[in-house]
């Protein structure tokens, strides 16, 4: 042993450099070889999958999935170029053809749009959804029993009755 090997443990002025075998590849080449090895041979892999070969998720599986997405996109683009959709006459959004009705869950909005200006008919449902999302912050009543929440129950019944009435009007039109 040399004097350097027997230094005091409190001496932090030097760093110990691990010895590398002469025939071992440099560290950066070894890291690159591990990075580009698609087979996962880690201890966790062996514990879960045994000797069954699998590939590493990143970058190999991710690259394969992205490649598939681009291939499908190319197929769709090719179909759109070779067989484009036929263009019909432009629709007039202000005239609804006879017999056209929305699905049952949009009938109340359909009837509502007939009685209010278009801006109100567009913004009122959005405001209603915003209020619905804000209910936990608006109604701070700590009671959970329905009989002690008269305002919330009355408001819910009023909204439901309005939706039912407007839906019936939408069916009748």
- Note the helical H segments in 50-142: 62-82, 107-115, 118-138
Side-chain-side CA neighbours of 98 within 13 Å: the count stands at 0
**Average pLDDT of the segment spanning 132-141:** 86
Residues 108 and 167 sit within 8 Å (Cβ to Cβ): yes
Q: Are residues 71 and 123 in the same domain?
A: no
* 168, part of any domain: yes
CA gap 53, 42 in Å, rounded:
11
Q: Are residues 112 and 155 in the same domain?
A: yes
Q: Are residues 71 and 130 in the same domain?
A: no
Higher pLDDT: 92 or 166? It is: 166
User: In 3D, which of 68, 165, 37 has the Cα closest to residue 107?
Assistant: 165
The total domain count for the chain is: 2
* 60, part of any domain: yes
Residues written for the chain: 173
Residue 56 pLDDT > 60: yes
User: What is the dihedral sign for C-alpha 29, 35, 38, 40?
Assistant: positive
- Three-state secondary structure call for residue 167: helix
Range of the domain at 141: 104-172
% of the chain with per-residue pLDDT over 90: 32
Q: Are residues 120 and 167 in the same domain?
A: yes
**Average pLDDT of the segment spanning 130-142:** 87
* 44, part of any domain: yes
* 154, part of any domain: yes
* 77, part of any domain: yes
């Amino acid at each position: 042993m040399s004097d350097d090997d027997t230094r005091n443990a409190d001496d932090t002025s030097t760093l110990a450099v691990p010895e590398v075998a002469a025939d071992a590849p440099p560290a950066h080449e070894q890291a690159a070889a591990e990075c580009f090895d698609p087979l996962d041979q880690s201890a966790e892999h062996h514990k879960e999958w045994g000797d069954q070969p699998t590939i590493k998720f990143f970058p190999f599986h991710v690259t394969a999935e992205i490649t598939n997405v681009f291939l499908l996109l190319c197929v769709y683009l090719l179909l759109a170029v070779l067989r484009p959709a036929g263009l019909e006459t432009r629709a007039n959004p202000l005239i609804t053809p006879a017999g056209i009705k929305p699905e049952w869950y949009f009938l109340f909005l359909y009837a509502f749009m007939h009685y209010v200006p278009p801006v109100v008919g567009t913004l009122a449902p959005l405001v209603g959804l915003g209020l619905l999302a804000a209910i936990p912050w608006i109604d701070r009543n700590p009671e959970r029993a329905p009989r002690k929440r008269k305002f919330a129950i009355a408001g819910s019944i009023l909204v439901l009755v309005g939706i039912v009435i407007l839906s019936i009007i939408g069916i009748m039109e």
